[in-house]
Structure 1
Amino acid sequence: MHYNYVGVLPSLRYSTHQRVMRNIYQSINSWLFRRSILWITTLVLAVVLLLYNKQFPLYLQVRRGSSHNLNSILRENLHLHSVCSKPGIENAGIFSNATVYGKQVTAHRHLLFNSVPKSGSRTLVSVMWALSASYNTPEPYYIRYMLDATRTTENKTATLISHLVALKYPTFIHGHVPYLELPTEVTPVYASILREPYSRYVSWYYFMRYGDGDMNETGLLTRLGPDAARPNETLDDCLRLERSDCLNWKYYRLNIMMFCGHDPRCNYDPDYALAKAKKNVDNYLVIGVTEEFTDWVRVLERLMPSMFRGAVEKYLELEDELRHILHTPFKIEPSPEHQETMKKRLRHDIEFYQYVKQRFHKLKKEILSGTGC
Structure 2
Amino acid sequence: MAPVSTGTTSKKSEVKVFSLVTLGLILILAIIFVNNTLQIQEETKATRGYIRNLHFLPPHLRKQVVEVINRDSTEESTHEWGQPVQGTNFVIYYNAIPKTGCRSIARAAAFLSATQAMDTRFKLTILPEDILFNEGLIRQYVRQVDPPAIIGGHAIFVPFSAPQAYSSSIPVKYVNVLRDPLDRLISHYYFEQNGDSVHQASFFTVGTKMSLDDCLHDEVCKNKSYDKILKRTINQLCGARPHCGTLSRRAMLTAKRNVNHYTVIGLTEQLNTTVLLLERMFPSMMTGLHSHFRKTEVASLKKFKTLDKLAPSPATLEILRRDLAFEYEVYDDVKRKFDQLKAEMGL
TM-score with structure 1 setting the length: 0.65
Aligned partner of 1:128 in structure 2 is 109
Aligned partner of 2:269 in structure 1 is 291
Deviation at 1:356, TM superposition (A): 0.8
Superimposed CA distance per residue, residues 209-247 of structure 1 (whole angstroms, 9 cap, x where no aligned partner): 2211221x2xx34x2167xx723x211121233443467
Q: What does 1:343-362 align with in structure 2 at a 5 Å threshold?
A: 343-362=321-340
Count of aligned pairs: 261
Q: What does 1:1-373 align with in structure 2 at a 5 Å threshold?
A: 98-108=78-88, 109-136=90-117, 137-145=121-129, 156-182=134-160, 183=167, 185-215=169-199, 217=200, 220-221=201-202, 223-224=203-204, 230-231=208-209, 233-245=210-222, 249-268=227-246, 270-369=248-347
Question: Structure 2 CA distance, aligned partners of 1:98 and 1:352?
Answer: 18
**Counterpart amino acid of 2:83?**
K
Gapped runs of 5+ residues in structure 2? 1-75, 161-166
Question: Structure 2 CA distance, aligned partners of 1:241 and 1:98?
Answer: 43
Compared CA separation, residues 255 and 121, structure 1 to 2 (3 A): same
Gapped runs of 5+ residues in structure 1? 1-95
Compared CA separation, residues 302 and 200, structure 1 to 2 (3 A): same
Deviation at 1:261, TM superposition (A): 2.2
Contact 1:110 1:172 in 2 (8 A): yes
Question: Structure 1 CA distance, aligned partners of 2:78 and 2:216?
Answer: 43
Deviation at 1:329, TM superposition (A): 2.8
Tell me which stretches of 4 or more aligned residues in structure 1 moved more than 6 Å. Answer: none
Superimposed CA distance per residue, residues 255-295 of structure 1 (whole angstroms, 9 cap, x where no aligned partner): 12111122212223611111111111111001111100010
Residue identity (%): 28
Question: Structure 2 CA distance, aligned partners of 1:98 and 1:241?
Answer: 43
TM-score with structure 2 setting the length: 0.70
Deviation at 1:157, TM superposition (A): 2.8
Question: Structure 1 CA distance, aligned partners of 2:299 and 2:168?
Answer: 39
- Radius of gyration: which is bigger? 1
Question: Structure 1 CA distance, aligned partners of 2:239 and 2:305?
Answer: 31
Instruction: Report the aligned-residue RMSD.
Output: 2.3
Secondary structure of the corresponding residue to residue 129 of structure 2: coil
Question: Structure 2 CA distance, aligned partners of 1:349 and 1:332?
Answer: 22
Secondary structure of the corresponding residue to residue 253 of structure 1: helix
